[in-house]
Structure 1
Amino acid sequence: MVQKRKELQNQYLSRNSKFDYLPDTDRYLSSVNQPKYKFNVIGSGNIGQEHMRVTLMEGRATIHGIYDPNPNSVKQAKKLFSTLAPNSPLVVYESLEAACHDPEVDGLMICTPNYTHIEIVKEAVKSSKHILLEKPMATTIQDAYEINQIAKNYKPVFQIGLQYRYKAIYIETIHEALERKALGDIKTISIMEHRIPFLDKVKQWNKFSKYSGGTLVEKCCHYFDLMNLLAQAKPVQVYASGSTAVNFTEFEYNGEKSDIIDNAFVIVTYENGIRASFNLNMFSPMFYEEIVICGNKGRLKASENEDFLSSERPRNQLEIMRGEGKPSKVSNPCYPSYIERSGHSGATYYEHIYFIDNIEGKQTNTATVEEGFWSVVVGAAAEQSIKTGQSVTINDVLKENGVLV
């Protein structure tokens, strides 16, 4: 316990610029450990830069180089790196192959647009390097299944970037529901996300389903991953209703009209009888996430908000109500503020901790490639249900895509 506390202090103090006046020989609590691993970032846009920032913040690895065909992304990433590691060189690769196969590098972080993942993975696995593939792992069930098959025989770490399971509210939710079993047997799961519209991307690829997989794959695979994890079972049926009500109704890019939805209700039935629902709204004036789980012995509600209001209230809240049976409680799960500010409420930081832990052979609960596959399956089935207006049976949609599981 003392050793862990010392290490935590060391990480916090070593980032504090007020101690920069100290020579290295006089640093103890504020000493900086030398990184053991080198990573390349493939795709250096917004999320790629978040991975760069968090890699250097976590400290056990460094960023060796980047590859991105967009010059502006490269320029911005170089500027960021110069502020984060001013005395370190950054390699800018001219090709994907060069970035994947540099012998100096231990791991690859793939942060490119969704539709490019399948071809990049095919090249990346030739390197036998550790891989962190951003969500969603693919835009279609067929491509996700192909990546899943590739990963089955891949001996290095192959981790999917479904990092919402590491947010403070979900870490505590998983602990209470699955480990502590505070709710008894789970019967229903309900998740809500209300947020602002999709942000701008290079060539606006996230406004078109053929590039993103559709809103319920691109954005909501995080929540379907959480549903699947909490249900501890395979989905068997999906029904969804959704539309384009407000966002991008007039948006065109290169003469092509946007086709993504901005709101939806999704119902998922699992093979063990658990029923789950998802409520999405992407024209909300704030960010709000909520999960409600009911079991035969209690109810859990957890939420996270960023509402831009001047009045103060807790950003995160979790409540467990268990009536007269056992104690109930209300809490505010959170990480240190500097970690929460690093990206996705601190979830990306812990994703990196676990990525390196996986490399070092430690046991973690990071999202496997198979779990990434099932998160795409639910999202793609929901998109299909909206298009057809019919309930979708998972076995049928898998057969239609030539998938046997």
Structure 2
Amino acid sequence: MSRKRKEINSNFFSGFLNVDYLSEEDKYIYKKEQHKYKFNVIGAGMIGHEHIKVTMLEGRATIHGIYDLDKKSIDNTKRMFSKNFPEHELVDYQTLADACHDPKVDGLIICTPNYTHLEIVREAVKSGKHILLEKPMATNLKDALEIKELADGYEGIFQIGLQYRYKAIYNESIHEAIERKSIGDIKTISIVEHRVPFLDKVNQWNKFSKYSGGTLVEKCCHYFDLLNLFAQSKPSFVYATGGSAVNFKDFEYKDQKSDIIDHANVNIVYENGVNTNFNLCMFSPMFYEEITICGDEGRLRAYENDDFLPVNRPNTHLEVLSGESKPTRISTPCYPSVIQSSGHNGGTYYEHKYFIDNIEGITTTTATVEEGFWSIVVGIAAEESIKTGKVVYINELLKSIYEEKETVSN
């Protein structure tokens, strides 16, 4: 089947049109292809729902089953699946091993709480199936290092869920700054995230650093992945300030007091001299992201905004200002509305599209385990810098964890 036919036949496109008047034998352009792959979702919470929906929307794979320890999450996911995909059945696995080793299944999507990732990956890799592991890959360097080692030489696809690089504003920024080099050699990078507080989770695990890794690991690994990607270098040292000013200051759950931060400024200097900054505020009444990249031949700025106001203006913006040296471009990057609204402004959809492309041997730029590891390294260094008030040198941070690992193995 040609690529053009495949695009016309995509689920999101046919969803805009009424083709119910056609019999199945009269459908050619709109005839649905058979699913080529079956995936199991491990973790049936909010992000599990997102993975289920974009898998079904993308169309080349179907969700075969789910596994979760929380009965309410399982029941809720079953209701959602039955309502949205009544023509499909959903298997409810009783054990993690059953979910991982079902011979009918081609891939595993792991989207459980952060602190459970290592335990689940240890079982998942025994299956040899393709794995999509949600970010952050772990909550600490010791666990991240073990996952990295488990993935080394793994024969199946092992992809990390750092999908922000596929949001329209970042996708276009990568094209302009790295591929076209529209602003010359990159010298400085700044990323901003202003948003509402962390949402509720089962057992409120995201309010505690020991379960989440801390705010700068749990949420901000996305942005550290982007900074690493744009800097095209390894981080040299990190200095961060931040704390808890507004959110969850009096929050307790099962006699545990929340200890996560709600704002930060993180400075990262890379080995190649690129100087970067990340600014976080999690008590803002909107979702706003911005990236500004300055090169020796111009400046790129892009943002994504959802402020819940009835104002008719674009939600995205990108500008490349090149002065007198090159043309300047101003645009509004976006995807088709059904993709844009499917999760993380389309990032999750393309994460899944490229996951399947990877399975089919098509080269993509999805986040590798190595890249996932480095996003955790920066987040952990930033959390440590806030706690100690000191600059954290990455070589020293990694040396300590390798020495600890060697001591344990001996």
TM-score grouping bracket, smaller chain normalisation: over 0.9
Which residue pairs with 1:112 in the alignment? 112
**Structure 2 match to 1:196:** 196
1:400 CA displacement: 1.7
User: In 2, are the aligned partners of 1:56 and 1:84 still within 8 Å (CA)?
Assistant: no
CA distance in 2, matches of 1:268, 1:228: 10
Mapped pair 1:9 → 2:8: yes
Quick check: 1:166 aligned with 2:169? no
Give 1:16 deviation, angstroms: 4.1
- 1:177-326 → structure 2 map (5 Å cutoff): 177-326=177-326
TM-score normalised according to structure 2 size: 0.96
1:183–1:297: 8 Å Cα contact kept in structure 2?
A: yes
Q: Distance in 1 between matches of 2:242 and 2:389?
A: 10
Structure 1 CA distance for aligned equivalents of residues 13 and 317 of structure 2? 28
- Distance apart, 1:4 and its partner CA: 4.0
Preserved contact between residue 13 and residue 30 of structure 1 (Cα < 8 Å): no
- Of 272-281 and 25-34, more deviation after overlay is shown by 25-34
Query: Could you say which residue in structure 1 is the equivalent of 2:408?
Result: none
Contact 1:43-1:66 within 8 A present in 2 as well? yes
Mapped partners of 1:170, 1:3: distance in 2: 29
Q: Match for residue 22 of structure 1?
A: 22
- Cα-to-partner distance string for 1:347-398 (whole Å, 9 max, x where unaligned): 1000000000000000000000000000000000000000000010001111
SS in 2 for 1:401: helix
Taking the aligned partners of 1:17 and 1:152, their CA distance within structure 2 comes to 45
Rounded to whole Å, the distance in 2 between the matches of 1:3 and 1:186 is 39
Q: Is the 8 A contact 1:14 1:32 kept in 2?
A: no
SS in 2 for 1:348: helix
Tell me by how many angstroms 1:83 deviates.
2.1
- Report the equivalent of 2:148: 148
**Distance in 2 (alpha carbons) for counterparts of 1:272 and 1:69:** 45
Cα separation, partners in 2 of 1:293 and 1:13, compared to 1, 3 Å: closer
- Corresponding position of 1:41: 41
Name the SS for the 1:199 alignment partner.
Answer: coil
CA distance in 2, matches of 1:16, 1:194: 33
For 1:79, the equivalent position in structure 2 comes to: 79
SS at match of 2:325: coil
Deviation of 1:296 after TM superposition, in Å, equals 0.3
Query: Given residue 366 of structure 2, which amino acid in structure 1 is its aligned partner?
Result: T
- CA distance in 2 between counterparts of 1:13 and 1:362 reads 23
After superposition, the C-alpha distances for 1:149-187 in whole angstroms (9 at most, x for unaligned) are 110120100000000000000000000011000011000
What's the offset of the Cα at 1:5? 4.1
Output the amino acid matched with 1:342. S
Farther-moved stretch of structure 1 (371-380 vs 306-315): 306-315
Contact kept? 1:43, 1:67, Cα under 8 Å: yes
- Deviation of the 1:17 alpha carbon: 6.5
Misfit runs of 4+, over 3 Å = 2-6
Q: Secondary structure at the match of 2:177?
A: helix
What SS does structure 2 have at the residue aligned with 1:320? strand
Alignment match, 2:53 = 53
Corresponding pairs, count: 403
Give the Cα separation in 2 of the matches to 1:38 and 1:343. Answer: 21
- Distance in 2 between residues matched to 1:241 and 1:329, nearest whole Å: 35
- Kindly report which structure 2 residues correspond to 1:349-388, keeping only aligned pairs within 5 A, or say none: 349-388=349-388
Residues in 2 aligned to 1:152 and 1:203: alpha-carbon distance in whole angstroms: 33
Query: What residue ranges of structure 1 are gaps of 5+ in the alignment?
Result: none
Of 12-21 and 340-349, the range deviating more from structure 2: 12-21
Q: 1:234 and 1:87 mapped to 2: Cα distance?
A: 48
Aligned partner letter, 1:256:
Q
Amino acid at match of 1:133: L
Q: CA deviation at 1:280?
A: 0.2
Where structure 2 has 5 or more consecutive residues not aligned to the other structure, the ranges are: 406-410
> For 1:280, what is the secondary structure of its paired residue?
strand
**Alignment deviations for residues 243-273 of structure 1 (CA, whole Å, 9 cap, x no partner):** 1000000000001100000000000000000
Per-residue deviation, 1:9: 2.5
Counterpart of 2:274, as a letter, is I
- Counterpart position of 2:126: 126
| Percent identity of equivalent pairs | 64
Tell me the alpha carbon deviations over residues 115-155 of structure 1, each in whole angstroms, 9 at most, x when there is no partner: 00001000000000000000000000111111111101201
Matched letter for residue 114 of structure 1: N
The secondary structure found in structure 1 opposite 2:402 is coil
Whether the 8 Å CA contact 1:14–1:29 is kept in 2: the answer is: no
| Aligned mates of 1:4, 1:368 — CA distance in 2 | 26
Deviation at 1:37, TM superposition (A): 0.2
Corresponding letter in the other structure for 1:377? V
1:298 aligned partner, one-letter code: G
Give me the whole-angstrom Cα distance separating, in 1, the residues matched to 2:183 and 2:6: 34
CA RMSD between the two structures: 1.2
Q: State the secondary structure of the residue aligned to 1:318.
A: strand
Distance 1:390 1:153 in 2: 37
Alpha-carbon distance in structure 2 between the residues aligned to 1:3 and 1:321: 39
Q: Distance in 2 between matches of 1:385 and 1:292?
A: 24
For the residues of structure 1 that align with 2:40 and 2:3, how far apart are their CA atoms?
A: 29
**Amino acid of the structure 2 residue aligned with 1:266:** V
CA contact (8 A) 1:158 1:368 kept: yes
> Does structure 2 conserve the Cα–Cα contact (< 8 Å) formed by 1:208 and 1:260?
yes
Distance in 1, matches of 2:234 and 2:317, equals 29
CA-CA distance at 1:95 after TM superposition: 0.5
Residue equivalent to 2:394: 394
